[in-house]
Amino acid sequence: MRKGLILLTYLFFLALLIVPLGKMIASAGAYGLSGLLEVLSSREVLHALYLSGLIAVIVTLLNTLFGVGLALLLVRGTRWNRRIRQVLNSMVDLPFAVSPVIGGLMILLLFGPQTVLGTFFESIGAQIVFALPGMIIATLFVTFPLMVREVMPVLQEAGTDQEEAAYTLGASGWLTFRRVTWPSIRFGVLYGVVLTVARSLGEFGAVLVVSGNIINKTQTATTLVYQEVENFHFVAANGVAVVLAALSILILLLLEWAKHRKEGIFHADSGT
C-alpha cells in the first residue's frame, strides 16, 4: 500500500510538473538555440524581463521594511490595544482570501483616471494606474502577507527575555534590534524575501488589471507570455516562461540552502 502511494505521488508529480516543463523547454528550443536567443534578446522581451525584475526588487525592499515592522508591531506592540492588533492581524491575510484580479480591480477603482485620487495624482504629474506605481502597489498587495507570516512565528518562538535583558542593560531600541532581535529573525526574513521575489516575478492577475499590458511600457514577463500565447507565438511565450521557471528553481534552491543553513546553525548552537 505504501509503495503504491509513493508511486502514485511520483506519477502525479511527473504528469503535472516534469512533462509540461519538458514540453515547454522543447517548444522554446523549436528553432534551435540561436532562434531562442534571438527571441529572448528582442526589445519587447528584454523590457518585460527588466520591468518584472525592477518590480520584484522594489516590492521586496518595501515588503522587508514594512513587513518586519508590522510583524514586530503585532508580536511586540504592547502599547497597542489588543483589539486593534487583532484587526490588523486579520487584515494581513486579506490578499490570501481575495483573488489577485479583485485586488487589481480595487486599485483601479481607487486610483483610476476617473477617481478623485487618480485625478489628483495626474494633476501633479504622477500617474498611478497603467504605470509602474500601480503595478508596484498591485504586487505589494499580493505579496505583503508573505514577509509578515514568516517573521511573526520566529518572533513568538524567540520570546522577549533577551530583549528585556538588553533594555535592562541600557541598550537602545535600535541597538537591541540589531544585536538581539535581528540575529533571531534573519532566516525568517530571508524566507520572506525569497518567497516575495518568487511571487513578484510570477504575479499576473493584479498586474494585468492595473498595467494595461502596454508593450515596452507596462508589460511584464508574465503578461508578455499571456499576449504571446494569445497571438499563437508559442516559441516566444515558452522561451520567456523557461526563463521565469529557471529563476523560480534558483529561488527554491536558495530557500533550501537557507533552511539547511539554519538547521546547521541550530544544531551547532545546541551542541555547544
pLDDT digits (tens, 9 = 90+) for 1-48: 777 788 887 787 777 777 777 878 887 777 777 877 888 889 999 999
The residue among 151 and 78 whose pLDDT is bigger is 151
Q: Are 176 and 163 in contact (CB under 8 A)?
A: yes
2-11, 175-184, 216-225, 232-241: segment of lowest average pLDDT: 2-11
Long-range Cβ contacts of 241-244 (<8 Å, 24+ apart): 241/24, 241/28, 242/24, 242/25, 242/28, 243/40, 243/49, 244/201, 244/202
Q: Report the first-to-last Cα separation within the chain, whole angstroms.
A: 43
Least confident of 144-158, 213-227, 246-260: 246-260
Average pLDDT of the residues in 38-64: 93
* pLDDT for the residue 218: 93
Q: How far apart are CA 244 and CA 171, in angstroms?
A: 45
Architecture (CATH level 2) of domain 31-271 = Orthogonal Bundle (1.10)
The three cell numbers of residue 14 are 511527473
d(CA 75, CA 70): 9
The answer, yes or no, to whether residue 268 has pLDDT greater than 60, is no
**Residues 6+ away with beta carbon under 8 Å from 271:** none
The ranges assigned to domains in the chain are 31-271
CA atoms within 13 A on the CB side of 66: 13
Taking the C-alpha atoms of residue 48 and residue 189, their distance in angstroms, rounded to an integer, is: 28
Q: Enter the DSSP assignment of 217.
A: T
Instruction: Name the grid cell of 60.
Output: 521586496
- 267 or 259, higher pLDDT: 259
Q: What is the DSSP letter of 98?
A: S
Dihedral sign from CA coordinates of 112, 115, 117, 122: positive
What dihedral angle (degrees, nearest 10) is formed by the CA atoms of 256, 23, 38, 34?
Answer: 100
Residue 264 has pLDDT above 60, yes or no: yes
CA dist., res. 36 & res. 151, Å (int): 40
Total length of the chain: 272
Can you say how many angstroms the Cα of residue 82 is from the centroid of all Cα atoms in its chain? Answer: 29
Cα→Cα distances 8→13, 18, 20, 271, Å: 9, 14, 18, 40
